[in-house]
Structure 1
Amino acid sequence: MDVSFTVSKWDEKPLDHTSKEFPINIAHVEYDIEGDLKGKAFVEYLLYYLDSNIDDGHLATSKISGFLHFEGTYKGKQGTFTAIEQGVFDKGNLDSPATIIKATGDLEGLKGSYNYNFSGQTSKMILDFIF
């Protein structure tokens, strides 16, 4: 199953402004999610840039690691979950498989994973969830 999302916030800064040998940025990100999974996700990413394009960050390549915290509903059930993500952002394409590590509220017991799929202007999360 897939759901659509939009990036409502992307605030990214270098972790250390003084070291060119440590090209890690931290990004505070928010997603608005629509579909069977509906709500807001708050993500903290660490990005290690392998290839950088100063003029257009979407053309860069980086290893990423992060935590996503979701608040909202899944198939009408209210709750939250936290997932861990790890992967690669490569020239506009995010391949960052994620696994749920904890769920609360009516979503307690939710297990599974997701990944991202970008097609044209559409951003989707491909869900593989079970109760």
Structure 2
Amino acid sequence: MSFFLVYTIVWMAGAFVLWGLLLFAEYRKLDALEACFSENEAVRRHKRFWGRNQRIDRYHRMGLMVDFLSMPKTHIKAGLVTQAELASVPIALRRWALWPYRIGYVWVAGTVLWAIWYRW
């Protein structure tokens, strides 16, 4: 068995693990995150627009939360979120929101590596 085949199997298994983590974060942790920003106008507007509770709606609402948590200084300067709102998010909840998306970046880099290796 070649190393490329082993890498492909691990890469595909990683895709399913990543998908499971993203689904868990969107379906189990999103409501708790939105509760921390319940008075925020941007979150309320986003929730009104993406409020049908389908997969794409939860994805976009989670994307706003990840934006707030991954680049807090930018959003504080823009006036979209306050320091108190960001401080109200527990560290465990912050990790559940950010880490699946950060692991996704690693998976995308692995996909680029796989594509280059496949063509070689």
- Establish whether TM, by shorter chain, passes 0.5: no
Q: TM-score, normalised to structure 2's length?
A: 0.28
Higher helix proportion (structure 1 or 2) = 2
Higher radius of gyration, 1 or 2:
2
Structure with more contact order per residue of length (Cα contacts < 8 Å, sep ≥ 6): 2
